[in-house]
Amino acid sequence: MARNKKTWNDLSSGQQTAVLVVGSVELALTATALVELAKRPRDEVRGRKLWWALACLVQPFGPPAFLLFGKKR
């Protein structure tokens, strides 16, 4: 069975731009969530900080989940 693997050069310029934009947003959200988690005291986090740090590595759901639900208000 032959697989149709696309390389970066096979993508149109619009597709390449979309990949870069989505990747940049994911990277920014992950960095923001991890920095916020590191700076926040343990008693201001819902649940264990270790679990939230691991959850932030699950793309694309972990970082927004922490930013929306992981912080105590």
Rounded to an integer, the average pLDDT of 4-11 is: 89
> Does the reported pTM lie above 0.85?
no
Please choose, from the candidates 48, 41, 45, the residue with its C-alpha nearest in 3D space to the C-alpha of residue 73. Answer: 45
Pick the residue with more confidence: 4 or 34? Answer: 34
pLDDT per residue over 18-72, tens digit each?
Answer: 999 999 999 999 999 999 999 999 999 999 999 999 999 999 999 999 999 999 8
CB environment 30-61: b (16+ within 10 A), e (fewer): beebbebbeebeeeebeeeeeebeebbeeeee
What pLDDT sits at residue 2?
61
| 63 prior amide bond cis, ω within 30 | no
Q: Is the pLDDT of residue 1 over 70?
A: no
Q: How far apart are CA 45 and CA 31, in angstroms?
A: 17
**What are the structural domain ranges in the chain?**
12-70
